[in-house]
Amino acid sequence: MVAAVLVAGSEKATAHRLGLSHSTVKHHLANARSKVGAATTAQLVWILAPRLPEPEGAQTDEESQM
């Protein structure tokens, strides 16, 4: 869900893209924050960043240096 929000840009856009209600997306993010001890969604992203997949079309560090 965190990766989906990052790709879509917002909770509402994620809900629309996935065919879910906004409250469902908020609920999943709240559960994820609780599990990792994050107070905010920004903290959640920072904690999970190493585990999140690269967004499609994103350049890696090696590609950007070429």
Are the beta carbons of 16 and 10 closer than 8 angstroms?
no
Instruction: Count how many residues are written for the chain.
Output: 66
Percent of the chain with pLDDT over 70: 82
Give whole-number Cα distances, 39 to 29, 32, 43, 47, 65, in Å: 11, 10, 7, 11, 35
Closest by Cα among 14, 12, 15 to 55:
14
Q: Where are the domains of the chain?
A: 2-51
Residue-wise pLDDT tens digits, 19-41:
999 999 999 999 999 999 999 99
pTM: 0.74
Type of residue numbered 33? R
